[in-house]
Amino acid sequence: MAFKNQGQLAKAFQYLEEALAAYQRVFKSDAPGAVAYYNALASLLIAQGQLEKAAEYSTQAINLCRANKLTGDSIFAAALHQAATIEYRRNLQAQSKDFSPSKKYWTEALAIQHARGQTPQEARTLNYLAKVAELENHNDSAEQMYRQALDVQSSVHAYPTIYFLTNCNLAEILHQNGQTEEAIRLLKDAVKALESPRAGTVGGESERADFFAQFASAFDPCRMEPRTRPHRRSVCIRRTRPQSNVPRSTQPRRRRPARHT
């Protein structure tokens, strides 16, 4: 998935489709190994905003897991996550919002992730469920799930970006509740955590910009920190060459020696 990491999603999708076709030529079309390909293809399409096409691959992944009795496996949790994300994105664009399908998929995925000890994935799912609770104006539930996500990540920071978003989202809720001091501490922890993925980005400037765009909104709460020092007007000190105490007009001029022809 090197092309995905570089932000070249269309090219990554092309190679992945070719890999799936090669796999299915060797194995049967209903072989369970195809689930990983369907999940990855759905993820790439979600990133490109092609939700309807992503839903097709997501449905194939879920159906294939059920046909092969993989409903307790981590790969099924991944398929559920893709389905939940698609429904979530659809609802964000809809006028009348109903996050019930997303919550159903993520809740089912969360149970599998917790049972199998998938700490990063469990934290990510808790983040999403907390965000849905926020959108439904259930901030108390959202805060509880964000704190649960932090507890899950207390010993393992496999994905610093997940930890970053957990801190920032929780900080925003705490700031709204007047708990500014704790909110600031969370934001500082979040910025520290972002250094690892920042150092690991590859590709051109546009691809790196696309990567960091997903964190843009999380920096808005950084404005909450109160000014602790009085604002000082910056003074620009202009450096000049040292001058003589003798006024410029009275300084003797050096005569050039006469030229003899």
Domains of the chain: 1-117 (1.25.40.10), 119-212 (1.25.40.10)
Give the confidence band of 30 by pLDDT, cuts at 50, 70, 90. Answer: confident
> Which pLDDT does position 227 carry in this prediction?
38
d(CA 141, CA 128): 12
d(CA 237, CA 160): 42
Give the confidence band of 94 by pLDDT, cuts at 50, 70, 90. Answer: confident
> Which pLDDT does position 208 carry in this prediction?
53
Q: Does 241 score more than 60 pLDDT?
A: no
Tokens of 259: 């030229």
> Which pLDDT does position 214 carry in this prediction?
53
209-230 mean pLDDT: 49
Please give the torsion angle defined by the CA atoms of residues 81, 87, 89 and 93, in that order, rounded to the nearest 10 degrees.
Answer: -170
> Which pLDDT does position 18 carry in this prediction?
82
Q: Are residues 142 and 159 in contact, defined by beta-carbon separation less than 8 angstroms?
A: no
For residue range 1-17, what is the model confidence (pLDDT) as tens digits? 544 444 556 677 777 78
Tokens of 147: 């704190």
Give the confidence band of 29 by pLDDT, cuts at 50, 70, 90. Answer: confident
> Which pLDDT does position 248 carry in this prediction?
45
> Which pLDDT does position 95 carry in this prediction?
85
Phi, psi of 30 (to 5 degrees): -100, 15
**Torsion sign, CA atoms 148, 150, 156, 157:** positive
Q: Does 204 score more than 60 pLDDT?
A: no
d(CA 109, CA 20): 24
Q: Are residues 42 and 2 in contact, defined by beta-carbon separation less than 8 angstroms?
A: no
Of the ranges 4-13, 28-37, 45-54, 80-89, the best mean pLDDT one: 80-89
